[in-house]
Amino acid sequence: MDSRHVVIGSQDDKFGCTVWDLSGFCLHNFGKDIAKLRVNDLAISPNGQRLVILSESSIIVFDFDSYEKIYEWQVDDVKLMSVTISQDSRHMLVSMSQAHIQLMEIDSGKVIHRFEGHQQKDFILRSAFGGADENFVVSGSEGMLISVLSRPPSPPSRLLFNHMPILTPTKQDSRIYIWRSNGLLIEALDAHAGCVNSVAWHPRDPSTFASAGDDCRVKIWRPLSAPPFPAGSGGSNGCG
Amino acid sequence: MIPEHRLASLLDEVKEGWIERCQYHNTAASPSLYLDHNCTKDDFPTRNALELKHHTDQVVFVQYSNDGSMLASTSKDTTIIIYETKTYNILHQLEQHEKSDVVHLAWSPDDQRIITCCLQPENAARIWDVKVGFRWK
């Protein structure tokens, strides 16, 4: 959301996706133009120009200023789970059932890369971009690991060193998977006792990310070479 | 005739090749040409440095604020916890989603507010002011 408006997506048939201002007034209802829009996930690009909605079987891209639909891609045979948009507002990461993650260009729909290798059967996995320059893709898994993949540079940005790691969605094998953007699986970390539900990379510090699990814990991940946290960290401040 | 900027583009290609082969490349800085470039695993986050045990049920979602100074987590225990990220001490624990699992949250671009949403029976979205920990709407 930008600081003045909020976009809410839901499984409600009438209010599939709505835009509100901060006083509670509904500015726009995307569900009016698209019958039975049930939103699985949505994302707004950092530049505020694009809204991407994942419904049951299609990826829909809207221009956020005019609320007009730009593209819609039907996807058969797989369920769409979550979407994340890169910092440069040009690419999106779509997580799907059957353990696929796709890196796509937002405006053309071109699939730049596919990532596989993690486990996912029944649950929603979220992926994210991470690391310096968004060089990696990180994902959780249905098997207790966190995966980290690294990401290849896309041709137009060859001279800009604009590489982005990709945070892979948390999977149900309790691992976190991290891929580099060229699709190479870098790490598969044993993370939580139980499903890893969400992973978030620190936006300013590329050597830190956090994970959330069914074991009621939030874990902070740092490099081996990093100094330990000061004593007393992670406690309550006493104000409850 | 050598094309213009040929040396510069050749050197850029060398750097691109290094970065592509560098498995743990995790820096936005351009690599130096004085030495062959390789990032080590030691500088890559692979170690669980801190465990935060404040939630009493499954933690569903975590998200850093846009400037990285705060981390918010939502949980099936119906609360949202906001931590500051130097020592990960709790800033606020927000408890007003009554009896409903809080599933998702988003930070406003200026990090002043967060919006959270929850499941049955409340089925609502709430906006919170982060400085005060007060439910705004």
Give B29 or B61, the one with higher predicted confidence.
B61
pLDDT at A31: 61
Determine how many CB atoms are found less than 10 A away from the CB of residue B39: 18
Q: How far apart are CA A177 and CA A191, in angstroms?
A: 10
φ, ψ for residue A97, nearest 5 deg? -70, 170
List all residues 6 or more positions away from B85 whose beta carbon is below 8 Å from its beta carbon: A202, B64, B68, B69, B70, B71
Instruction: Name chain A contacts of B41, Cβ cutoff 8 Å.
Output: 224
Mutation target to probe the B interface, by most B beta carbons within 10 A, among A161, A192, A201 is A161
The answer, for A1 touching chain B at a CB cutoff of 8 Å, is yes
Our CA angle for B109, B68, B118, nearest 5°, is: 60
ipTM of the complex: 0.78
Interface of A with B in 10-29 (CB under 8 A): 22, 24
pLDDT digit string (tens) for A16-35?
A: 566 666 566 666 776 666 65
Question: What pLDDT shows up at residue A13?
Answer: 47
What is the CB neighbour count within 10 angstroms for residue A64?
A: 20
- Between CA A52 and CA A185 the distance in angstroms is 27
Q: How far is A118 from B121, CA to CA, in rounded Å?
A: 34
Q: Quote the pLDDT of residue A240.
A: 31
Average pLDDT over residues A203-226: 85
What pLDDT digit, counting tens, does each position of B41-78 carry? Answer: 777 778 888 888 888 888 888 888 888 899 988 888 88
Cis status, amide bond into B121, omega within 30 of 0: yes
**pLDDT tens, position by position, B75-97:** 888 888 889 888 888 888 887 66
- CA-CA distance, B37 to B22, in Å (whole number)? 8
Give chain B positions within 8 Å (CB) of A163.
Answer: 19, 25
Contact A223 B43 (CB under 8 A): yes
Q: Is residue A122 predicted with pLDDT exceeding 60?
A: no
Contact A22 B85 (CB under 8 A): no
pTM of the full structure: 0.66
User: Per the CB < 8 Å rule, is A202 touching B64?
Assistant: yes
Q: Does A149 touch chain B (CB under 8 A)?
A: no
Q: Say how far apart CA A195 and CA A173 lie, in whole Å.
A: 6
Among the partner-chain residues A2, A153, A200, the one whose CB lies closest to the CB of B64 is A200
- CA-to-CA distance for A144 and A190, rounded, in angstroms? 5
Which residue in the set B20, B59, B89 is minimally distant from A236, CB to CB? Answer: B89
Residue type, A229: F
Nearest CA among B47, B93, B86 for reference residue B70: B86
Does the beta-carbon distance from A216 to B62 stay under 8 Å? Answer: no
Report CA-CA distances (Å) from A146 to A126, A137, B68: 12, 11, 21
A218-223 vs B90-94, strand pairing mode: unpaired
Interface with chain B: mutation pick from A197, A199, A229, A239, highest number of B CBs within 10 Å: A197
Mean pLDDT of A95-120: 74
B-interface mutation test, from A137, A168, A217, A239, most B Cβ less than 10 A away: A217
Which amino acid, one-letter code, is at A105?
E
A224·B42 Cβ contact <8 A: yes
More confident residue, A141 or A207: A207
Please provide residue A212's backbone torsions phi and psi, each rounded to the nearest 5 degrees.
Answer: -125, 140
Q: Residues 44..83 of A with a Cβ closer than 8 Å to B: which?
A: none
Neighbour-count burial for A100-139, b at 16+ CB within 10 Å, e otherwise = ebbbbebeeeeeebebebbbbeebbbbbbbbbbbbbbbbb
pLDDT tens column, A33-75: 665 566 777 788 878 788 888 887 788 888 888 888 888 888 7
* B108/B33 Cα distance (integer angstroms): 40
B62 and A6 in contact by Cβ < 8 A?
no
Distance CA B88, CA A160 (A): 35
Identify the residue whose tokens are 């050749």: B10
Closest listed residue to residue A31, CA positions, set A23, A45, A42, A21:
A42
